[in-house]
Amino acid sequence: MLMLPQSLRLALAVFAVVGLTGLLSACAGRTAPAPSEPLVGTYWRLDSLGGEAAVVGDQQREAHLVFNAAGHVRGSTGCNRLMGRYQHTDDALSFSALGTTRRACSGPLQAQEQDWLDVLSRTRHLARSGDRLVLEDSRERPLATLQATALY
């Protein structure tokens, strides 16, 4: 057995404790990314549109989207129901054949409906983290943020 001087043994012990403490601190400081809600089968409520908080009218359904596995999307503009198709691969997302009911909207709900439909037509990417979905344009600039509510 190799005999080391007392001062060297003490220095090695301190080095080991400090190194182990640093390693444990680094691991403890990291948090695993929050699991993302699935795109399909989740009620995605519109939180913000173009950086502005979404409008919810009295006696109105909030603006939202629900994706199904067959490539269909349905939801609301906050005034009218909407339906259409979507394509999703990795971080790419686009909408097509979008239509709405024709109920009259006024004021902020009408403006939001027009902006919401414009955002959906310009969406090319998505980013997800936990219960958040961000719709992005072709340059991956955020257009709208949605909050997940599970449908089960």
Cα 129 from Cα 71, distance rounded (Å): 22
**Residue ranges covered by each domain of the chain:** 1-31, 42-150
Q: What is the pLDDT of residues 71-123, one digit of tens each?
A: 999 999 999 999 999 999 999 999 999 999 999 988 899 999 999 999 999 99
Residue 50 banded pLDDT, cuts 50, 70, 90: very high
Q: Kindly report the pTM of this predicted structure.
A: 0.75
What is the CATH architecture assignment of 42-150?
A: Beta Barrel (2.40)
Joined together, the tokens standing for residue 134 give 């961000």
Q: Are 120 and 132 in contact (CB under 8 A)?
A: no
Q: Are 133 and 48 in contact (CB under 8 A)?
A: no
Residue 22 banded pLDDT, cuts 50, 70, 90: very low
